[in-house]
């Protein structure tokens, strides 16, 4: 059993053929123009998929296409209602559109949810029934697995774990509210804080960097750079406060971290665990929740989207 899993992003569309062990067989990708009509960009994607599967030996084993899509969806109806990063995508019936052009069953899911599905089925979350995944990238994404199943709320619009306010009236968030976790724990947030503080810390080596990203900030923090230390310290506090909230709200079996900042790996996790222990994982006597890195990297979304097709046969 094989499915096509596709990750639709603002700058590229990446897909792969994936078997029901979660293994990637072959890949394809194309550029995405987020400003054009979805019929054009997704039309091109369909052409690419048709070309991709045309001469594959396993063509007859392909049971469908799973799409991970950013935005607010009506999953059952296969519609993208709107998408902050894809302004022309309004009530786009993507599942029908793709089904007609590639003649395969199509399922859709929010892109953050497809990532947690991938990790839950075939990655770091494989042996757990209740998982909270946090993606620390441009934004802060979330994924929820409860009793072994994806939970993403009405029409796939829940699990927006980056959009819980941890500081009322705090930093402006991209969602319109102020003080969301995303405004403190995304890669974008730590970079912005770095830039805002450069003048206050003229001795910081960050002033000499052409490009400031989370990796550079963590590197300089290890070297003792004062600004970098302040940034990482605050970052860890806010991220940990968010995780403590999710301890109290979900008390899952495990947290998974993914995304750019999570590449700091155990170094970051140790700092978070230290902070969370100090706060008794939410309250005294509460069970400790282990934190692990997601293991599928950028493939988690494709694999999770493909897994939507396998689920009906389980």
Is 297 one of the binding residues for a second copy (CB under 8 A)?
no
Report the residue number, 169 or 223, with the smaller CB distance to a second copy.
Answer: 169
3-state secondary structure of 106: strand
Distance in angstroms (rounded) separating the CA atoms of residues 214 and 200: 19
Name the residue among 98, 104, 147, 145 with its Cα closest to residue 1.
104
Residue from 176, 199, 313, 314 in contact with a second copy (CB under 8 A): 176
Is 250 one of the binding residues for a second copy (CB under 8 A)?
yes
Is 147 one of the binding residues for a second copy (CB under 8 A)?
yes
Residue 312: exposure state from Cβ atoms within 10 A (0-12, 13-18, ≥19): exposed
Q: Minimum distance from CB of 49 to a second copy (Å)?
A: 28
Distance in angstroms (rounded) separating the CA atoms of residues 211 and 185: 19
| Contact call for residues 128 and 145 (beta carbons, < 8 A) | yes
Number of residues that bind a second copy (CB under 8 A): 49
Buried b (16+ CB within 10 A) or exposed e, 85-103: ebeebeebebbebbbebbe
Is 287 one of the binding residues for a second copy (CB under 8 A)?
yes
Is 253 one of the binding residues for a second copy (CB under 8 A)?
yes
Residue from 16, 32, 62, 166 in contact with a second copy (CB under 8 A): 166
Report the residue number, 60 or 147, with the smaller CB distance to a second copy.
Answer: 147
Name the residue among 17, 11, 245, 10 with its Cα closest to residue 142.
245
Stretch that binds a second copy, among 15-23, 92-100, 157-165, 197-205 (CB under 8 A): 157-165
Residue from 175, 219, 263, 297 in contact with a second copy (CB under 8 A): 175
Is 226 one of the binding residues for a second copy (CB under 8 A)?
no
Name the residue among 218, 252, 222, 253 with its Cα closest to residue 235.
218
Is 108 one of the binding residues for a second copy (CB under 8 A)?
no
Is 146 one of the binding residues for a second copy (CB under 8 A)?
yes
Residue from 57, 127, 168, 199 in contact with a second copy (CB under 8 A): 168
Q: How far is CA 117 from CA 62, 151, 281, in A?
A: 20, 10, 25
Binders of a second copy in range 1-60 (CB under 8 A) = none
| Contact call for residues 204 and 193 (beta carbons, < 8 A) | no
Tokens of 294: 């997601």
Report the residue number, 201 or 250, with the smaller CB distance to a second copy.
Answer: 250
Report the residue number, 148 or 265, with the smaller CB distance to a second copy.
Answer: 148
Is 245 one of the binding residues for a second copy (CB under 8 A)?
yes
Stretch that binds a second copy, among 7-15, 53-61, 168-176, 219-227 (CB under 8 A): 168-176
Report the residue number, 164 or 209, with the smaller CB distance to a second copy.
Answer: 164
Distance in angstroms (rounded) separating the CA atoms of residues 258 and 226: 27
Name the residue among 1, 14, 50, 4 with its Cα closest to residue 297.
14
Is 275 one of the binding residues for a second copy (CB under 8 A)?
no
Buried b (16+ CB within 10 A) or exposed e, 54-66: eeeeeeeebbbbb
3-state secondary structure of 159: coil
Is 151 one of the binding residues for a second copy (CB under 8 A)?
yes
User: Which positions touch a second copy (CB under 8 A)?
Assistant: 72, 81-82, 84, 130, 142, 146-147, 149, 151-155, 157-161, 163-168, 170, 175-177, 237-238, 241, 244-245, 248-253, 279-280, 282-287, 289
């Amino acid at each position: 059993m094989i499915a096509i899993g596709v990750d639709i992003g603002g700058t590229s569309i990446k897909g792969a053929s994936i078997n029901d062990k979660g293994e990637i067989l072959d890949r394809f990708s194309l550029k995405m123009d987020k400003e054009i009509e979805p019929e054009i960009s997704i039309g091109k994607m369909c052409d690419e998929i048709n070309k991709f599967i045309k001469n594959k030996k396993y063509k007859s084993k392909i049971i469908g296409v799973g799409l991970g899509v950013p935005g607010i969806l009506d999953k059952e109806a296969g519609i993208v209602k709107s998408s902050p990063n894809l302004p022309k995508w309004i009530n786009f019936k993507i599942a029908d559109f793709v089904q007609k052009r590639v003649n395969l069953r199509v399922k859709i899911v929010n892109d953050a949810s497809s990532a947690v599905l991938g990790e839950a089925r075939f990655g770091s979350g494989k042996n757990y029934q209740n998982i909270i995944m946090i993606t620390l990238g441009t934004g802060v994404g979330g994924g929820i697995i409860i009793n072994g199943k994806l939970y993403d709320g009405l029409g796939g619009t829940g699990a927006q774990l980056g959009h819980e306010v941890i500081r009322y009236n705090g930093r402006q968030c991209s969602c319109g509210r102020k003080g969301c976790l995303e405004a403190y724990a995304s890669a974008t947030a730590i970079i912005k804080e770095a830039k805002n503080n450069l003048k206050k810390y003229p001795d910081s080596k960050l002033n000499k960097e052409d490009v400031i990203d989370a990796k550079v900030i963590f590197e300089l923090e290890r070297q003792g750079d004062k600004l970098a230390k302040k940034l990482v310290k605050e970052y860890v506090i806010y991220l940990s406060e968010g995780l403590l909230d999710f301890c109290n709200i979900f008390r899952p079996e495990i947290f998974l971290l993914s995304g750019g900042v999570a590449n700091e790996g155990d170094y970051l996790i140790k700092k978070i665990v230290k902070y969370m222990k100090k706060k008794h994982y939410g309250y005294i006597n509460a069970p400790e929740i282990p934190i692990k890195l997601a293991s599928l990297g950028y493939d988690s979304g494709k694999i999770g989207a493909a897994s939507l097709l396998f689920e009906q046969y389980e």
